[in-house]
Structure formats: C-alpha cells, structure tokens
Amino acid sequence: MHKHPALDSYPSAAPGAGWLRYASPAAFYPLAGRMIPWLALAAGLFAAAGLYVGLAVAPTDSQQGEVYRILFIHVGAAWMSMFLYLVMALYAALGLIFNTRLSFMMMRALAPTGALFTFLTLWTGALWGKPTWGAWWVWDARLTSELILLFLYLGFLALQAAADDDTQRADRGGAILVLAGVINVPIIYFSVRWWSTLHQGASINLTTAPSMARIMVAAMLLMVAAFWCYSAAAALARVRGIIAEREPAALRAGRAQRETP
C-alpha cells in the first residue's frame, strides 16, 4: 500500500494548538474513540423513542392508513443519504484544496453509511409505493435521481477498492467523482417541484408549517436524530480503522509521547 511521505517523522501536534490539532489523523484517532460510545448510545435512545412514538403513539393517517408509518424511517433515511453525500463533497473539496489527509479519510469513511441509507430509502420507498401507487417501482424523477445517488456511492466505493494499492490516487480520484456527482443532490431535493411526479412533496420544510400532526413530526425528527448519531458513530469507527491502516507509525509515536512522563 502506498504510504504518505515522511510518515515516520510526522510531528505530534502541540498541546496548545486548539481544535486545529485534530486535523492530524494521529490526534483525531483518540478523540474519535471517545466520541463513538456516546454517539452510539444517543443513536439507540433516539431510535427507541422515535419508533415508539411513530409506531405506538402517532395516530393512523386518515388517507394512507397504517402504511404511512414507513415514512418515519423512509424520510430520515432519504435526508441522510443526501446529507452524507454533501458532507463527503465538503471533505473532498477540503482534501483537494488543502491536501489534508484526514479529509480524504473521512470522505472514505462516510461512503458505506451513505450507500446504506440510500438503499434503505429506495427499499422503504418501494414498500410504501406498492400499497399507495400500486407498483414497487416507477421511473419517477425523485426515485430515479435517488437511484443515481446509490450508483454514485457504489461507484466511489468501487473506485476506492480498485485503487487501494495507491491511496493518493484513490483519494484524489474519489474526490473528483464525488464533486462531479454533487449536482445530483439538488436534483433529488427539487425534483418534485421541477417535474410532474407521483412522489409527494416535502412534509417538513423551513418556510411553512408542517403538513402533518405534531406527534408525527416529533417521531420523524427523533428518527432523523437517531440516523445522524448512528452515521457519526459509524464514520468515526471506520475512520479509526483507516488511520490505523494508513498511519500506524504516527499512532505509535503519539501513544509513546502520551505515555512519556
């Protein structure tokens, strides 16, 4: 595997460097380890609360009946599929502009979770669409653009695997692919406004009051919080593995410095 230059002599961040010191993968590694258990616990608590409110407390929808409860998972998964791609694009831009290794690592760590939520969006959408539209799948503008998002995630993961023996080439090639595909995110979001589609419009937005009962909104937001915490915990766990694989010497040097009296 390709190693970054001067890895063995990579200096440890100064204690007074502030939050910028965590741009160093070796310094970020222990911070991520401390955050993961709390994020995982928060994800479990939010998910339990969201599922309870959504499945047991929220009333039956007057038009869709019980099937609408799929949306408590579907909407949060759809939001996360787009949000995680935008975060990947941000890390890709930072990595290309400033050549920060941790940015490329975070970009790679987020991709599997983003792909998971995109698949979950399409799957729950199909479960909701069959009783509502009478079909598992239609070539609706939003569904099609969400499917393209899944292909972008899978294409990024395939590129990383194909160039795994040269991390710099994999990082830069993946970053370019992510930035090229970011145009698909606003297409997904605005597709119901730009084209005539079967997909319903947004139930929650920042400019108007929600079109559903408050208890339903609460359940949906609890699930979004659960998905967000899970995504953060999963990405941090994954990036720790990437750091340990790519920069073992820097980790050993940082550990030895902390243990020196």
In-domain check, residue 22: no
DSSP string for 207-219: SS--SS-HHHHHH
Residue pair 7/250 in contact (Cβ under 8 Å)? The answer is: yes
Two structure tokens written together for 109: 């760590």
**In this predicted structure, what is the pLDDT of residue 89?**
98
* Beta carbons within 10 angstroms of residue 250's beta carbon: 23
Residue 83, domain extent:
30-251
* 167-181 vs 101-133: helix crossing angle, rounded to 10: 40
In-domain check, residue 23: no
In-domain check, residue 19: no
In-domain check, residue 233: yes
**In this predicted structure, what is the pLDDT of residue 98?**
94
Q: Which residue has the tokens 């039956």?
A: 60
In-domain check, residue 50: yes
The total domain count for the chain is 1
In-domain check, residue 161: yes
Entry pTM: 0.86
Q: Phi, psi (5° rounding) for residue 164?
A: -65, -20
3-class SS at 14? coil
DSSP H helix total and E strand total for the chain: 8, 0
In-domain check, residue 72: yes
In-domain check, residue 261: no
Positions in the chain short of pLDDT 50? 1-16, 206-207, 209
pLDDT tens for 91-144 read 999 999 999 999 999 999 999 999 999 999 999 999 988 887 788 888 888 889
